[in-house]
Amino acid sequence: MGPGLLGYTIRRLLWAIPVLFVISLLVFYMLRLAPGDPVDAILGQRFQEDQAAVLRKKYGYDQPIHVQYVKYLQNLARGDLGVSIRHQQFTVSEVIIPKIWVSTRLGLIALVISFTLGIFAGIYAALARGTFLDPLTISFWLAIDAVPVFVAAPALMWLFALKLDLVGLGWRGFASPNIILPILVLSLPGTAGIARFVRASVLGVLQEDYVRTARAKGLPERTVVFTHVARNALLPLITVIGLSLPGVAGGALIVEQLFGIPGIGREGFDAVLAPDFDVILALVLFGSLLFVLANIAVDILYAVIDPRIRLGAGRG
Amino acid sequence: MRSSTRAFASARDGAEAVSEEAVITPAVPEAHPVSPGRRMVRTLLRKKLAVLALIYLSLFYFFGIFGPLLAPQDPYEQNLSAETRLQGPSAEHWLGTDRLGRDIASRVVYATRTTVVFTVVVLISGSLFLGLGLGLLAGYRGGWVDTLIMRVGEVMGGLPTLLLMLAITAAFRTRINDVSFWLEDHTWLGDDAATVTKFGIIVLATLPFAWIGSTRIVRSQALAIREEAYVLAAEAMGAGTWRVVSRHILPGVMPLFIMGVSAGMAGTAGAEVTLSFLGLGIDPPTASFGSLIADGAGPQTLERYPHLLLAPAIPVALFFFAWNLLGDALVDLLSPRGHLNG
């Protein structure tokens, strides 16, 4: 599009810097102000005070918080995310990057399945409106969605691993059939929301004048559905897709926990419990960065595709 | 002609469902039935499900409020002898007993109380006040107000929610004893102080994230609607801000807001259940669906003691399902444009 869009993009990207700065400040202070510092976590319950003091000095925990924060930012600017308390030989990046990669791949597979199922279910339900198939389709997915992950997981494990003996439990990588259960548990619950979204959107578009016009001029129903309806109805889905991407990289804490997947969600949980400050902080910043970028990308894509949306236009 | 009869039928449709839910009965004249067969099946299934969902939710909230009067036994009373632990359902213990010989039926009833209190608190404070209010303000006002609200929302919403909720609860939980002892000494809470403190922590952890979803939905919808010709026409005719927002923006915003809230309700309740499942929310001896499920989760446990998982899992899954169904039906009912389509 025109120069307006470029300016908007640059403005939004520049906005992202203070946003991320505020997030890092908030989270840094929250973590540091919480009782119990990482040194307690390293040493456990019994330790000598002088030993603790040495460690505090080594990691800089004896400094005032704002000094620690500035130091953290300086390190961050150099790409140094700090040191993990629990994995002492490794830097934070070395700990989290492989795990992010596992979670992202797993999440993307689940995302593709969810969206494929959801789009088809949604369009199907919308076109079946007026028959019992519409509420049946939606209710079916809503019922699936209502089962908490930590109920579905043991139930599926029991059925497929213990009773039918089709898959094993435990993580064997992406090539093993063991991956089927976590993928199911990750992808199926999301389908309901997408189906419902698509259905509402399709129903809205079905009433647009241009659909009536398309029908009135005698276009075959298939052309109407796929070119006029689906294309416009799936447009708002960009938001949903774009905003679910950061979550994918953030991993799925409970599913990873239950299935023993070495992903980033589980790492985050362990880091919170430890507490492993630098890992938590890195994960929060990473998640936030992805989210902010996804937001910007969604807005820009939207403006490119639908010129009716005026970007950042203030009124009077 | 055709569309007007349909509009009539839909208005009637709506009126029926509204009176079933005993809210308000708008003065809609008796209209003649239009397409009986199909519409009946659809109405039957869809609205019946919504009514069932509503009945279930009423029952759930009723149990939540009057739990202590309805629970068959004391949910805290332990009985550690071998023949009273981990028993399946019986006449004495309708849903069996847990590892400590406590009556599961009573614990489930008390768990509904936990869920009820939590959802009501977060719904009123998070979605209704913050979500709808800020969304309308941002969407219709635009300008710097919009920028400010959305940037704050972006900061909050940009945070990885579950991780942050865990970090907040984990950080505050180390202070639970200080706070609850203080509350015990200085307020009328007494023995409930520890539970109230835990509630406070999870509400505190949920609230920063509870408004963003609805605000975003309301705002984007308001933003689209304010560009519509009828809004511009109303403004051109001199309608005030309040009138434009309440008469023209709000009706268009409502369906998506309600869909957001009802879908969010399952999520809100889910946050507490999840935190409790992970041991960072409401933990034993206070009953919560999360900790009850955690007791029975695991394929081997499920094989040997299925009641441990099923007794809490079924009511809570139905609770989420009911909210989802209700939200879905509400969208269908309230959408001003949805009905015109047969």
Q: For residue B10, what pLDDT is reported?
A: 40
- Give residue B320's identity as a one-letter amino acid code: F
Residue A216 to residue A213: CA distance in whole angstroms: 5
- Distance between A88 CA and the closest CA of chain B, angstroms: 21
Contact B321/A at CB under 8 A: yes
Contact B320/A at CB under 8 A: yes
Which structure tokens are listed for B83? 């023949």
Residues of chain A with pLDDT under 70: 1-3, 34-38, 40-47, 251, 306-316
Which structure tokens are listed for A175? 């090539």
Query: Is the CB of B151 less than 8 angstroms away from the CB of A269?
Result: no
Beta strands (DSSP E) in chain A are none
Query: Is the CB of B159 less than 8 angstroms away from the CB of A287?
Result: yes
Contacts of A247 in chain B (CB under 8 A): 160
Q: For residue A2, what pLDDT is reported?
A: 53
B216: nearest CA partner in chain A? A239
Residue B181 to residue B248: CA distance in whole angstroms: 52
- What ipTM score was computed for the predicted complex, to two decimals? 0.83
A208: nearest CA partner in chain B? B337
Query: Is the CB of B49 less than 8 angstroms away from the CB of A135?
Result: yes
Residue B138 to residue B37: CA distance in whole angstroms: 45
Contact B318/A at CB under 8 A: yes
Q: For residue B7, what pLDDT is reported?
A: 39
Q: Which member of A26, A132, A250 has the closest CB to residue B42?
A: A132
Q: For residue B181, what pLDDT is reported?
A: 81
Residues of chain B with pLDDT under 50: 1-37, 40-41, 44, 336-342
Three-class DSSP labels, B9-46:
HHHHHHHHHHHHCCCCCCCCCCCCCCCHHHHHHHHHHH
**Contact in structure between A191 and A118 (CB atoms under 8 Å):** yes
Query: Is the CB of A313 less than 8 angstroms away from the CB of B142?
Result: yes
Name which of A59, A77, A55 is nearest A68 in CA terms.
A59
Burial bucket for residue A63 (CB in 10 Å: 0-12, 13-18, 19+): middle
Torsion of CA B24, B25, B27, B30, to 10 degrees: 160
Q: Please give the interface size between A and B, counted as residue pairs whose CB atoms are below 8 Å apart.
A: 189
Peptide bond just before B36 cis, omega within 30 deg: no
- Distance between A176 CA and the closest CA of chain B, angstroms: 20
Query: Is the CB of A154 less than 8 angstroms away from the CB of B301?
Result: yes
Contact A183/B at CB under 8 A: no
Residue B334 to residue B254: CA distance in whole angstroms: 8
pLDDT tens profile A96-139: 899 999 999 999 999 999 999 999 999 999 999 888 898 899 99
Q: What is the pTM of this model?
A: 0.80
Burial A9-27 (b: 16+ CB within 10 A, else e): beebeeebeebbebbbebb
Q: For residue B18, what pLDDT is reported?
A: 38
Q: For residue B333, what pLDDT is reported?
A: 65
Residue A51 to residue A37: CA distance in whole angstroms: 14
Name which of A30, A26, A31 is nearest A41 in CA terms.
A31
Name which of A139, A309, A187, A142 is nearest A238 in CA terms.
A309
